[in-house]
């Protein structure tokens, strides 16, 4: 898959515009006529039809994301007072830098870890007090 996009961040919103979202077919080797693993026992024609349909579906997804999901921006999944986020770009790359402030690490552990992991963490802390 190759996906390219325009991205900008504004406070706690990310605005995304997908430019390209499609299968990557290497011109040096050409399109494969059969899958590498053929658990569905597809014929060559069925496989080519699947690849074609999948390509149309990826184009549909790109349009849907742009027109529905990304239309008004996407909220970062946190409050910007706790995490400072910035975006950096290089050729064919986007980097998301996140600075964690205060006790956010422990808060995320408490919210996302299962109870066994939290208990183990707390016992480890008690041993070193």
116 membership: H or E segment, kind and range:
helix 115-127
- The predicted-structure confidence for 22-32, as pLDDT tens digits, reads as follows 877 766 555 67
| Choice between 102 and 37, residue whose per-residue pLDDT is larger | 37
The answer to whether 75 touches 13, Cβ cutoff 8 Å, is yes
DSSP state of 37: S
CA distance 107 to 75: 19
Each domain of the chain, given as residue ranges in start order, spans 2-75, 77-129
- The predicted-structure confidence for 83-98, as pLDDT tens digits, reads as follows 667 777 888 777 777 7
């Amino acid at each position: 898959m190759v996906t390219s996009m325009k991205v900008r961040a504004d406070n706690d919103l990310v605005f995304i515009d997908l430019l390209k979202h499609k299968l990557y077919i290497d011109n040096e080797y050409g399109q494969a006529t059969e899958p590498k693993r053929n658990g569905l026992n597809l014929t060559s024609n069925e496989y080519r039809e699947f690849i074609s349909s999948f390509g149309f579906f990826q184009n549909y997804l790109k349009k849907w994301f742009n027109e529905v999901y990304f239309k008004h921006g996407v909220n970062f999944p946190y409050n910007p007072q706790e995490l400072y986020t910035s975006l950096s770009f290089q050729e064919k790359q986007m980097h998301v830098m996140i600075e964690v402030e205060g006790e956010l690490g422990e808060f995320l552990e408490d919210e996302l870890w299962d109870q066994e992991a939290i208990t183990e963490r707390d016992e480890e802390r008690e041993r070193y007090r």
